[in-house]
Structure 1
Amino acid sequence: MSRILTVAAAQLGPIHQADDRASVVSRMIALMEQAKMRGADFVVYPELALTTFFPRWHYEDRAQADRWFETAMPGPQTQPLFDRARELQIAMNFGYAELTPEGRHFNSSILVDKTGRIAGKYRKVHLPGHAEYDPSRAHQHLEKRYFEPGDLGFPVWAFEGGLVGMAICNDRRWPETYRIMGLQGVEMIVLGYNTPTANGHSSTETLADRLFHHRLSVQAGAYQNSTWVVAVAKAGVEDGHALFGGTLIAGPDGKIVGELDHEEDGLLVHACDLDATRFGKETIFNFAAHRRVEHYGLITSRTGSGAPLGRAV
């Protein structure tokens, strides 16, 4: 018998600086209710689902950005989301800015089961961007200013009848993200993102180029680890800054089974057969049979090439 997990990828349109948490939570609940009506067991929201993508704004005093962070989860403003999920008996995943009791700042994501219990937490490992204001950029991307790199690794959880892992935005571009979870037998990876439509380093890279690299990263990770990947955008123009959509679900063969074609609030629902991951895991990507770890040492012993570009090592 197949193990079917029906997933709703719940894309959010723009969230502006003036939008309060209550209005955003109301939008998330509306999508959750639609997802339940369409037969979903599990609803997946984007990175930083509760706020605008605030790392585009430079605060000289970093503490000024703390207003975008959650000091408790759930807290008073997010409790209605948890309550409605428990009433509907639907699991969920969403990203948010986490401020710990010790004063540490993370770009985080959680798995919440159908009882409203937090079953797993992930903190973004691959932080893009920079830490100081850069006047040469078309827009700022200050994740390194406001967040620490995640300290929880890439765990996989027994969740809703399968093995589920999490990643966030830039993590999707790094093959190590998928492989660490693949080595744990992951069957579904859920990842949210807020990705600028324009490349701050390049004036020639088009939206089509950006979407190509997004799809390429997700599809390769899905195929090379024989896992479902659910990639969910926060999209649209936030206070004059554009984020692309491209919310999609990729199957364990790397093929896209569905994709949204807009940048507003919306749902992509798909019945994912977790047993479909077994074929790849038992054949071409049977890691126990085929991996050659004696040749992989550079992956963890170096962060860079160690030589100028264009020269072999």
Structure 2
Amino acid sequence: MRVIRTAAAQLGPIQKAEDRDSVVARMIALMDEAKRQDADFVVYPELALTTFFPRWYHADRAEADPWFEAAMPNAATAPLFARAREHRMAMSFGYAELTPEGRHFNTSILVDRDGRIVGKYRKVHLPGHEEYDDARSHQHLEKRYFEPGDLGFPVWRMLGGILGMCICNDRRWPETYRVMGLQGVEMVVLGFNTPSVNAQRGAEGLGQRLFHHRLSVQAGAYQNATWVVAVAKAGDEDGHHLTGGTLIVDPNGSVAAELEGEADGVIVHPCDLDETRFGKETIFDFARHRRVEHYGRITGQTGVVLPE
């Protein structure tokens, strides 16, 4: 057995006026609770340090820069890293990254038990739009404030296993999991901030959004024989509601643990990475069963090409 006692640490809403220090204090409290439950690894949401700011339109794009982190760790997050080292706990969380060259990414990191950043991922599949859209019930301006990630879907050896990351909308794309699956991934961790209503289809509310969330995560886990840990930022942020749905899915696609509610909270589950072996050695033994000669369209085109 190769067990990682994994804590999915959901954050309730972060209001626009809430500062980094307050949010980090909440994250530390969740980490302390995870430690009380003997967790080895704690996973936090996408954009864990701020409200989901892409809902706010800035005509001057640079006005959004205060939401971004120019260094990691920094003064605000140093106490989180210090507590992780004290607890000897690995962690993963998402934040808005501003690079020294002035580039902007929706980023997630893996941090080992010594508090060292050992992995970085930048969100590839950016949803939403770039300009203000009167036709939408609310704005979702990720394409305005972020560039598509430029690091691909790497994996890392950590905690005795092979771990990978993705962020929010990435979980809906099968290519996300398959690229990591082809590297032997045994646990995918991801944070999300998902509005509870589709801005372009008001009838698609909370129930359908949670259905699509679970469907995507469970399919990705099953089809690649990997654990998936999906962690929400949830609740009402300044009148804009985000779904919950924090859960841990096993390599057979079953929900192993799920957190109820939309407030700050933790679930801890013993994830045995050896449970990935059956799927990887049988129905999803890629070396035996994949037929890449027929998959050219997947990397050869983006939009749909209709038959003549």
**TM-score, normalised relative to structure 2:** 0.99
Q: Distance in 1 between matches of 2:206 and 2:152?
A: 31
Q: Distance in 1 between matches of 2:178 and 2:267?
A: 26
**Aligned position for 1:111:** 110
Q: Distance in 2 between matches of 1:222 and 1:121?
A: 21
Q: Distance in 2 between matches of 1:24 and 1:70?
A: 14
Q: Distance in 2 between matches of 1:17 and 1:23?
A: 12
Matched, 1:48 2:47: yes
After superposition, where does 1:9-158 map in structure 2 within 5 Å?
9-158=8-157
In the TM superposition, what whole-angstrom CA distance separates every residue of 1:7-33 from its partner, at most 9, and x where no partner exists?
000000000111000000000000000
**Aligned position for 1:3:** 2
In the TM superposition, what whole-angstrom CA distance separates every residue of 1:170-224 from its partner, at most 9, and x where no partner exists?
0000000000000000000000000000000101112111110000000000000
Q: Distance in 2 between matches of 1:147 and 1:205?
A: 26
SS at match of 1:34: helix
Cα RMSD between the aligned structures?
0.6
**Aligned position for 1:290:** 289
Q: Distance in 2 between matches of 1:297 and 1:212?
A: 31
Give the counterpart letter for 2:33 in structure 1.
Q
Deviation >6 Å, runs of 4+: none
SS at match of 1:65: helix
SS at match of 2:196: coil
**Aligned position for 1:194:** 193
Give the counterpart letter for 1:194 in structure 2.
N
Give the counterpart letter for 2:223 in structure 1.
Q
How big is the shift at 1:261? 1.5
**Aligned position for 2:223:** 224
In the TM superposition, what whole-angstrom CA distance separates every residue of 1:12-71 from its partner, at most 9, and x where no partner exists?
000011100000000000000000110100000000000000000000000000000000
Give the counterpart letter for 1:281 in structure 2.
K
Q: Distance in 2 between matches of 1:306 and 1:59?
A: 36
Give the counterpart letter for 1:89 in structure 2.
R
Q: Distance in 2 between matches of 1:202 and 1:166?
A: 29
In the TM superposition, what whole-angstrom CA distance separates every residue of 1:262-290 from its partner, at most 9, and x where no partner exists?
00000011000000000000000000000
In the TM superposition, what whole-angstrom CA distance separates every residue of 1:240-273 from its partner, at most 9, and x where no partner exists?
0000000000000000011112000000110000
Structure 1: stretches of 5+ with no match in the other structure? none
SS at match of 2:199: coil
Give the counterpart letter for 1:82 in structure 2.
F
Q: Distance in 1 between matches of 2:155 and 2:223?
A: 17
**TM-score, normalised relative to structure 1:** 0.98
Q: Distance in 1 between matches of 2:195 and 2:147?
A: 21
SS at match of 1:237: strand
Q: Distance in 1 between matches of 2:159 and 2:80?
A: 19
SS at match of 2:58: coil
**Aligned position for 1:273:** 272
How big is the shift at 1:88? 0.7
Q: Distance in 2 between matches of 1:176 and 1:147?
A: 21
SS at match of 1:63: helix
SS at match of 2:190: strand
How big is the shift at 1:306? 2.1
**Aligned position for 2:177:** 178
Give the counterpart letter for 1:95 in structure 2.
G
How big is the shift at 1:138? 0.4
SS at match of 2:269: strand
SS at match of 1:154: coil
SS at match of 1:7: strand
Give the counterpart letter for 1:139 in structure 2.
H
Size of the aligned set, in residue pairs, is 308
How big is the shift at 1:304? 1.3
Q: Distance in 2 between matches of 1:304 and 1:78?
A: 41
Q: Distance in 2 between matches of 1:234 and 1:145?
A: 21
Matched, 1:260 2:259: yes
Structure 2: stretches of 5+ with no match in the other structure? none
Give the counterpart letter for 1:276 in structure 2.
E
How big is the shift at 1:133? 0.2
**Aligned position for 1:210:** 209
Q: Distance in 1 between matches of 2:252 and 2:126?
A: 28
